Amino acid sequence: MQGELLATSCLTNNWCNQMYRFSYKLWQSNGETLESSGERVLEALRKGKEISASPGETLPSGPDVANRCYQQLAHSYEEEYGGFREAPKFPSPVNLMFLMSFWAVKRASSEGAEALQMALHTLRMMVLGGIHDHVAQGFHRYSTDSSWHVPHFEKMLYDQGQLAVAYITAYQVGMYASLCCPLQSGSFYSAEDADSFPMVESYGAREVTCRRKKAIQIRALLPDIVEGAAGGATQGDISIHPYGVKEQGNVDPAQVWESEGQNVLIVRYSVELTAAHFGISVDRLSELLSDARAKLAKVRKARPPPHLDTKMLASWYGLMLSGFARVGAVLGDKALLERAERAACFLREHKWDEEGQSILHSCYRGNNMEVEQVASPIAGFLDDYAFVVCRLLDLFEATQRVCWLQWAEGLQLRQDQLFWDSQGSGYFCTLKQDQDGAEPSANSVSAMNLLRLSHLTGWQDWIQRSQQLLTAFSDRLIKVPIALPDMVHSVMAQYYTLKQIVICGQPDAEDTASLISCVNSLFLPHKVLMLADGNTEGFLYQRLPILSSLVPQDGKATAYECENFACALPVTCPQELRRLLLE
**Residue 76 located in a structural domain:** no
Kindly state whether residues 379 and 349 are assigned to the same domain. yes
- 121 and 182 together in one domain: yes
Q: What band does 378 get if pLDDT is binned at 50, 70 and 90? A: confident
Structure confidence at residue 218 (pLDDT):
94
Pair (253, 332) in one structural domain: no
Q: Are residues 459 and 542 in the same domain?
A: no
C-alpha span between 468 and 443 (Å, rounded): 11
Of the candidates 406, 389, 504, 398, which has an alpha carbon nearest to the alpha carbon of residue 451? 389
Q: Could you tell me if residue 84 is inside a domain? A: no
pLDDT at 304: 77
| Angle, helices 442-457/461-472, rounded to nearest 10 degrees | 160
**483 or 46, which is more confident:** 483
Q: Do 178 and 127 belong to one domain?
A: yes
pLDDT interval class at 431 (50, 70, 90): very low
Q: Which of 9-23, 127-141, 479-493, 540-554 has the lowest mean pLDDT?
A: 9-23
State the pLDDT at residue 164: 92
Q: 79 in a domain, yes or no?
A: no
pLDDT at 410 (0 to 100): 95
The mean-pLDDT minimum among 307-321, 331-345, 556-570 falls in 307-321
Residues 6+ apart with CB under 8 A from 237: 219, 229, 231, 278
The structural domain count of the chain equals: 5
Question: What is the average per-residue pLDDT within 139-164?
Answer: 90
| pLDDT for residue 11 | 55
Residue 380 has pLDDT above 50, yes or no: yes
> Tens digits of per-residue pLDDT, 100-119?
999 999 999 999 999 999 99
Angle between helices 442-457 and 402-419 (to 10 degrees): 130
pTM of the model: 0.85
Mean pLDDT to the nearest integer, 134-146: 91
Cα separation, 570 vs 522, in Å, equals 19
Strand 155-156 relative to strand 195-196, pairing: unpaired
Task: Give 453 or 314, the one with higher predicted confidence.
Answer: 453
If you average pLDDT over residues 2-29, what whole number do you get? 64
pLDDT band at 439; cut points 50, 70, 90: confident
pLDDT band at 406 (very low <50, low <70, confident <90, very high): very high
Q: Measure the CA angle with vertex 203, ends 199 and 205; round to 5°.
A: 75
Q: Are 327 and 355 contained in the same domain?
A: yes
pLDDT at 1: 47
**What percentage of residues in the chain have a pLDDT greater than 70?**
85
Which of 279-288, 372-381, 460-469 is least confident?
Answer: 372-381
What is the per-residue pLDDT for 55?
62
CATH of the domain at 503: 3.40.30.10
Q: How many residues does the chain have?
A: 583
> What's the rounded mean pLDDT across residues 233-238?
96
pLDDT of the residue at 197: 44
| Boundary of a domain, candidates 245, 277, 305 | 305
pLDDT on residue 425 = 76
Does 156 lie in the same domain as 212? no
424 in a structural domain: yes
398: nearest Cα among 456, 341, 319:
341
Within a domain: 390: yes
Choosing from 281, 305, 329, the residue where a domain stops is 305
Report the candidate in 61, 139, 149 with the shortest Cα–Cα distance to residue 96.
Answer: 139
Does any domain span residue 82? Answer: no
pLDDT, average across residues 454-478: 94
259-284 per-position pLDDT tens digit: 678 899 999 999 999 999 999 999 99
Residue 351 covered by a domain: yes
* pLDDT at 367 > cutoff 80: no
pLDDT at 502 over 50: yes
Query: d(Cα 148, Cα 506) in Å, to the nearest integer?
Result: 47
| Res. 354 pLDDT band, cuts 50 70 90 | confident
Q: Which of 404, 436, 461 is the last residue of a domain?
A: 404
Q: Give me the pLDDT at residue 79, please.
A: 95
Please tell me whether residues 358 and 395 are part of one structural domain: yes
Sheet with 155-156: list strands edge to edge: 155-156, 191-192, 308-309
Same domain? For 316 and 384 the reply is yes
pLDDT above 70 (res 91): yes
pLDDT at residue 435 above 70?
A: no
For residue 519, pLDDT over 90 is answered with: yes
Q: Which residues pair with 560 in a beta bridge?
A: 502
Shared domain for 168 and 152, answered yes or no, is: yes
Are 206 and 290 contained in the same domain? yes
Secondary structure element (H or E) that encloses residue 559, with its range: strand 558-563
Whole-number average pLDDT of the chain: 86
Query: Which of 306-315, 459-468, 549-558 has the weakest average pLDDT?
Result: 306-315
Q: Give me the mean pLDDT over the 32-39 stretch.
A: 76
Region 79-85: mean pLDDT is 93
Collect all residues with Cβ–Cβ distance below 8 Å to 88 and sequence separation of at least 6.
142, 143, 144, 152
Summarised one tens digit per residue, pLDDT across range 183-206 is 443 335 555 544 444 444 444 444
Residue 302 clears pLDDT 60, i.e. is over it: yes
The answer to whether position 3 is within a domain reads no
Of 478, 488, 406, the C-alpha closest to 443 is: 488
From the list 168, 102, 9, the residue with the least C-alpha distance to 485 is 102
Do the beta carbons of residue 552 and residue 531 sit within 8 Å?
Answer: no
Better-predicted residue by pLDDT, 305 or 562:
562
In terms of residue numbers, what domain contains 241? 202-305
Is the pLDDT higher at 304 or at 320? Answer: 320
Q: Comparing C-alpha atoms, which of 553, 571, 557, 570 is closest to residue 510?
A: 557
Based on the fold, state whether residues 248 and 286 are members of the same structural domain: yes
Whether the pLDDT of residue 49 is over 90: the answer is no
